Amino acid sequence: MRVLITAGPTREYLDEVRYLSNASSGRMGYAVAAAAVASGHEVVLVTGPVALSPPAGCTVVPVETTEQMGRACREAFENCDGVVAAAAVCDYKPLHRHEGKMSKTGDVVSIEMIETDDVLAMLGAVKARRFVVGFALEASNPRERALQKLRAKNCDVIVLNGPEAIGAAENSVELIDPSGAVVATWKGLKEELATRLVEWIDRQWAAD
């Protein structure tokens, strides 16, 4: 199969030097990419800025903003059999980007924010026969929120984890299907979880 994988954070700029982002290391997405290559798949890795070397054997598309990630994913998804969306995409961006560098004035600064494009929902809306695996990082009512995200974004399954996963070497995840059932539970190094996830994907869709 040819699989699209997203990884890492995105950045939304306040001015020419400051940006909003998150602490995603990209390690989970990169681990999934490596596991998919090891399983014999063609991989397109659309990645935000991370301090990682991409796995050998995959096509790497570096991006920075959410808009860039969405554009790269739309283009790549046309020729893929499915997507594993592990990226931690910024949900908001400043309504206006300041030209140059904002200077200190001593006054309170207010920044009006708007939602960014929803990359996962966009892919889910056009998936047709392709599979869509999403990720949900939730702190409160995690299963309920993850299920809501799965259904809203038209995912086939969603990988639920918590805030402790950010930047960590290990993780604990649940794989949830559209009925709300937990179809798998895995704990360990992210590389081990990635291998299990790819094995699960192979059992579901590789023979299609």
48 within a domain of the structure (yes/no): yes
Mean pLDDT of 151-158: 97
Whether residue 124 has pLDDT greater than 80:
yes
Whether residue 207 has pLDDT greater than 80:
no
Catalytic residue among 22, 154, 161, 171: 22
Tabulate helix, strand, coil % of the chain (nearest 5): 30, 30, 40
Looking at the structure of the chain, the number of domains it has is: 1
Q: Are 119 and 127 in contact (CB under 8 A)?
A: no
Q: Which residue segment(s) compose the domain that 179 sits in? A: 2-99+111-206
106 within a domain of the structure (yes/no): no
Mean pLDDT of 129-136: 96
Whether residue 208 has pLDDT greater than 80:
no
Residue 158's domain is classified under what CATH number? Answer: 3.40.50.10300
Mean pLDDT of 122-128: 97
Mean pLDDT of 188-199: 96
105 within a domain of the structure (yes/no): no
pLDDT the model gives residue 116: 96
- From residue 169, how far is each of 26, 40, 84, 86, 172 by CA, in Å? 11, 25, 19, 15, 11
Confirm whether 161 is a catalytic residue: no
Tens of pLDDT, residues 159-182: 999 888 888 888 999 999 999 999
Round to whole Å and give the CA distance between 108 and 163: 30
Nearest to 175 by CA among 163, 158, 200: 158
104 within a domain of the structure (yes/no): no
- What is the residue-wise DSSP string for 122-167? HHHHT-TTSEEEEEEE-SSSHHHHHHHHHHHTT-SEEEEE-GGGTT
Could you tell me the pTM of the whole model?
Answer: 0.94
Tens of pLDDT, residues 11-29: 999 999 999 999 899 999 9
Model confidence at 38, pLDDT cuts 50, 70, 90, reads very high
Mean pLDDT of 89-117: 92
13 within a domain of the structure (yes/no): yes
Round to whole Å and give the CA distance between 147 and 128: 20
